[in-house]
Chain A
Amino acid sequence: MSTLIDILLLSLMGITALAAVRMKSLFGAVMLTGIFSLLSALWFLILDAVDVSFTEAAVGAGISTVLMLGTLSLTKSEEKTSNHSQIIPLFVVFVTGGVLIYGTLDMPDFADPLAPIHTHVAPHYIEKSGAEIGVPNIVTSVLASYRGFDTLGEVTVIFTAGVGVLLLLGIGRRREDGDE
């Protein structure tokens, strides 16, 4: 039953991706990437990764669409047709894909209970995180408590990046100039 939903959703994603690649109008391509982000957020939600889905919807469908439109206001709105031969890029893509597929051959089987990722700390989190932390969502308790210092570091990095961007844009300085 849910297989049918998965197939329909993934075919929607495939159609959107192909259309975004083929489209000459850059504005239309930006709109299609927004649709693709919405679909992948829905897909993450079906896979029970709610936090990833939130991030995808906020960053993919929200912010990056706005950033792409901001870029479009600086460039032309039509894709330039390239005259270069496309054989070498195709070859590079196929080689890279082949190497990546070769890399997956060493991985443990799908849903193998003896795989390293299922025998390391995951059983401890699944069995004891409810009693130790008291948060119903295991992912949240891992991020906010077991790896709390790691998350604090990440937040500090993002805060520093935001402050740096604000200083580079000079938003505060421009307001002061206006007052003088």
Chain B
Amino acid sequence: MMFFVTVIALFPAMFLALGRAIVGPTLYDRVLAVNSFGTFTVLMIAVLGFMTDQTDFVDIALTYALINFIGTIAVLKFFVVGDFGYEEQRDQ
């Protein structure tokens, strides 16, 4: 029951993060919204795993956290550099 309440309590946070991703207004708001949404997904997977007695979901949640991190790094690199090309290609 406690885990179920936790899952339900996560939903307002997810709705708020989604709202920030939709409304914007700046790009950084959207990046931050997607990143925190990924964090909520990780939390949700972990709590759902404990709620349904499938505790190996924690491993999956950890992998999701890694994917979320790499995705955010890629988006931020896109902001700084403008593309994903190699250094040597830009010099030419």
Could you tell me which residues of chain A, from 1 to 43, have a CB within 8 Å of some CB in chain B?
A: 1, 4-5, 8, 12, 15-16, 19, 23, 25, 27-28, 31-32, 34-35, 38-39, 41-42
Q: Point out the residue from B15, B63, B64, B83 that lies within 8 Å of A70, measured CB to CB.
A: B83
B27–A38 touching, CB < 8 Å: no
For the complex, would chain B's binding face be called helix, strand, loop or mixed by DSSP majority? Answer: helix
A-contact bits for B18-39, CB 8 A (1 contact / 0 none):
1001101001001101100110
Query: Is A53 located at the chain interface by the 8 A CB criterion?
Result: yes
For the complex, would chain A's binding face be called helix, strand, loop or mixed by DSSP majority? Answer: helix
Query: Is B48 located at the chain interface by the 8 A CB criterion?
Result: yes
Question: In the bound complex, what is the Cα–Cα distance between A146 and B35 (angstroms)?
Answer: 39
A4–B18 touching, CB < 8 Å: no
Q: Point out the residue from B24, B31, B41, B57 that lies within 8 Å of A38, measured CB to CB.
A: B41
Q: Which residues of chain A have C-beta atoms less than 8 A from B63's C-beta? A: 54, 57
| In the complex with contacts A35-B21, A38-B41, A45-B45, A69-B60 CB distance below 8 A | no
Q: Which residues of chain A have C-beta atoms less than 8 A from B70's C-beta? A: 62
Which size class do B's interface residues fall under?
Answer: 35 or more
Q: Which residues of chain B have C-beta atoms less than 8 A from A143's C-beta? A: none
Interface residues of chain B, those whose CB is within 8 Å of chain A, are: 4, 7-8, 11, 14-15, 18, 21-22, 24, 27, 30-31, 33-34, 37-38, 41, 44-45, 48, 57, 60, 63-64, 67-68, 70-71, 74-75, 78, 82-84, 88-89
Please list the 4 inter-chain residue pairs (A to B) with the smallest Cβ-Cβ separation, ordered nearest first. A73-B83, A19-B22, A31-B30, A69-B78
